[in-house]
Every structure is written in C-alpha cells, then in structure tokens.
Amino acid sequence: MAGIEVTALHKRYPDGTVAVEHVDLSIGDGELFVMLGPSGCGKTTTLRAIAGLERQTRGDIRIGDTLVNDLPPAERDIAMVFQFYALYPHLKVRDNLAFPLRAEGLPKPQVRERVDEAARLMRLGPLMDRRPSRLSGGEQQRVALARALVRRPRAFLMDEPLTNLDAELRADMRTEIKHLQGELGTTMVYVTHDQVEAMSLGHRIAILNKGRVEQIGTPLEVYDRPASLFCAAFIGSPPMNLIEVEVADGRLRGQGGLDLTPPPGLPRDRRLVAGVRPEALEVTEPGAERSVPARVVAAEGLGDEIIYVVDHGGQGDVRVRMPPTVRFDADAPVGLRHSGGTPAVYDVNTEELVA
Ligand code: ATP
C-alpha cells in the first residue's frame, strides 16, 4: 500500500486545452480520497495522470516512495475502475477475474485463491459461472470492482464508477465500496461530480474548479466552512444562501435587517457576503422575536423535510430547511430568522472565506 503525492500538476492537451492548471494533492496511505467538481474541472485528467494513462505537461507524481512520472501504467501497481465496466463479454465471471492474474503469469493455485477471495469480498459466489450479458448493471460493476481487487494493487483509482447505476443501487454500492476500502485499507482515489457521493464516501474531499484545487478537507470541514464562494455554491442541496451583509453594532446585518451572529476576526472596509445553510434559518409566524418580515414564495415538500423559498422585502430568494411538521402556505406572510451557529463570511471581491 502507498500514499500518493501530486505536485504542481499541469496538463495541456495537444489541441491547447489546459485541463489541469495547478494541482497539489497529498493523499495518505490507506485514505479514501475523493476528487469532486463540476464537469470539465480536470478530475478525470488528474486521475488518468496518476494512473499513467495521460502524461502530464509539468509536475510530479509519486506513489509510495516511487517517482512514477516515467513509468507506464502497468508498472505503477494501481488498479483503475471506470464508469463503464469493461468486462470481457465472452468470459465467465470467474475467468474475467482470473484474466489479469493469468496475464501476469501467476501460478494456478494462487490465481484460484485470489479469485475466491475477491469473489467473497464482493459476494459474487452465485454469479461466478455467468457471462457479463446475464448480469445486471450493479452485478457487472461488482465484478469490475472484484477484478480490480484480485491484483492487490497499492492503490485503487475510481472514475465515477457508479454513474450508470440507478439511485438505490448507487447507494448500496457506495456502502459496499466504503466497507471494502475500510476492510482492505488500500489507498483509494475516487472521482465524482456528485456531492452526496463525495460526502458519504470520502475521508477527505478535494473540490476542483477550472483545473485548480479550491479546497481540501473532511466532509464536515467542507460543509461547515467552504473555502470560497465557488465551494459554498457547490456543496449542499440546496446550497448555502449567500446574503450580503454589513457589520453594525457588533452584529452582522443582512439585507432586510436579518440579524446574524458574526464570527470572530471579521475584516473591516470590505464588501462581505455571509453563507448561511438552509438549516441555520427558520421560518416563523410573522412578528416573532428577532425575525424580519418575509413571504413564502414556494414550499418544496421532500417527505422528511420542507424547503421553504422565502423573500424578505424584495431581497431575493432565501432557502430554509424546516421539519415537515411546520406548515406555511404559499404567499403567506411569515417571519425569517437566523436560528443558530455563525455563518461563513466571504469577501465579495476575492470570493474567499475571510471569517
Ligand atoms: P467530467 O466530470 O465531465 O468527466 P472532468 O472534471 O473529469 O469532467 P476532464 O475530463 O479532466 O474533466 O477534462 C478537463 C478539460 O479538458 C475539459 O475542458 C475537457 O474538455 C478537456 N479535455 C479532456 N480530454 C481532452 C483531450 N483528450 N483533448 C483535449 N481536451 C481534453
């Protein structure tokens, strides 16, 4: 097993497209590390560079103690799993698993032992004699994962491996991958554009934007303190409300008079925006203590919660997460107030977290 160090990675494709501007990553041995970002931010290119499938224009990649810049993929001792399963259609599951080991020239008893072990870990027992065309999408993906396992690589690289599965299966496979990674303790780099997947899987998450790392942190750090307005708008469903604020009498005052608790160390003389999670706000009866007058624009019931879209004095929509037991009608006059915690505060000009 091994950690992975990516230093000052830059990738420019022959057509001039700069896919990765500058990426530094320090991935721990045994870590499940997620790269998250919108389409085109450079996740796949970074992962393919680690795998050796793409040659970087500049920068270094180390796997364990080895500088692998000049090593072909086969000599990097890693296994990659893609969103398309890439199984051999004419081979039974058993032989799909054995194939990479036979190709390496491993003796038969060892091939059998490793295939059985992978089959056990991915619970493929009853499927071993089927061909891929007779498997469901989820089963095929389990076989693809098992085939990555048999090689006992130093690290797994996963590129949106669950994209083609339906929602329920995705959730199941997520749990399975997390469990598997925990059991094996093998370093894993997992690429996704799905923040729910990132939050539920990652020990740490790197948020990428336009070929750069915007933030690296644990799921909680990234959720509580997004490092930039980009991260604030990207994480959370719905994401943080971004509310222009002024500092007055030691308080943070939002547009429409919304009163927020200021974090320590606020800079002076800058235009500021507070990022407030929907669950840190509350829709109240009109005139409730510390509330500002507002109006319900829409209510989206999700069963276990309601997302209220409210407008306070023409200041734009604010989203509020409420338990399903609290009901307000659309268009009803209500109150809006901050219900807890301190918001993250950003400089409007630099778009960075300042307090
Ligand atoms: P997605 O989630 O859509 O897969 P991504 O974050 O993985 O996106 P990349 O696939 O790394 O992003 O692509 C980053 C940028 O590089 C994009 O603008 C893409 O169009 C471009 N790109 C990717 N591969 C090539 C290539 N072979 N030649 C030229 N440009 C490329």
Beta carbon of 40 within 6 Å of any ligand 1 atom:
yes
Q: So what's the pLDDT on residue 112? A: 95
Rg of the Cα trace of the chain?
24
Q: So what's the pLDDT on residue 351? A: 97
Peptide bond into 333 cis (omega under 30): no
* Parallel, antiparallel or unpaired: strands 292-301 and 306-311: antiparallel
Distance (angstroms) between ligand 1 centre and the Cα of 161 equals 17
Q: From CA 221, how far away is CA 176, in angstroms rounded?
A: 24
Distance (angstroms) between ligand 1 centre and the Cα of 207 equals 16
Task: Tell me if ipTM is over 0.90.
Answer: yes
The owner of tokens 């429409």 is 256
Q: So what's the pLDDT on residue 256? A: 80
Q: Do domains 4-233 and 234-347 have the same CATH topology?
A: no
Distance (angstroms) between ligand 1 centre and the Cα of 245 equals 37
Distance (angstroms) between ligand 1 centre and the Cα of 258 equals 42
Q: Where do the domains of the chain lie?
A: 4-233, 234-347
Atom index in ligand 1 nearest the CA of residue 54 equals 27
Atom index in ligand 1 nearest the CA of residue 48 equals 11
Q: So what's the pLDDT on residue 163? A: 84
Could you list the pLDDT tens digit for every one of the 355 residues in the chain?
Answer: 799 999 999 999 999 999 999 999 999 999 999 999 999 999 999 999 999 999 999 999 999 999 999 999 989 999 988 776 678 999 999 999 999 899 889 999 999 999 999 998 888 999 999 999 999 888 898 899 899 889 889 999 999 988 878 888 888 889 989 998 999 999 999 999 999 999 999 999 999 999 999 999 999 999 999 999 999 999 999 999 999 999 888 889 987 889 999 999 888 889 999 999 999 999 999 999 999 999 999 999 888 999 999 998 777 899 999 999 889 999 989 999 999 889 999 999 999 999 9
Helix (H) / strand (E) element for 102: namely: helix 93-103
Q: Which residues lie closer than 8 Å to 321 by C-beta, 6 or more apart?
A: 277, 278, 279, 281, 305, 306, 307
Q: From CA 203, how far away is CA 308, in angstroms rounded?
A: 32
Q: So what's the pLDDT on residue 341? A: 87
Beta carbon of 39 within 6 Å of any ligand 1 atom:
yes
Burial 168-198 (b: 16+ CB within 10 A, else e): ebbeebbebbbebbeeeebbbbbbbbbbebb
Beta carbon of 254 within 6 Å of any ligand 1 atom:
no
CB 310 within 8 A of CB 320: yes
| Substitution site in 6, 9, 12, 13 for ligand 1 pocket (most atoms within 8 Å of beta carbon) | 13
Q: In what order do the strands lie in the sheet with 58-63?
A: 66-67, 58-63, 4-12, 18-27, 212-217, 204-209, 32-36, 187-192, 155-159, 78-81
Specify the fold of 234-347: OB fold (Dihydrolipoamide Acetyltransferase, E2P) (2.40.50)
Q: So what's the pLDDT on residue 122? A: 86
Q: Tell me which CATH code domain 4-233 carries.
A: 3.40.50.300
Atom index in ligand 1 nearest the CA of residue 211 equals 14
Nearest to 157 by CA among 61, 82, 211, 207: 82
3-class DSSP state of 53: coil
Hey, how many other C-beta atoms are within 10 angstroms of the C-beta on 7?
Answer: 15
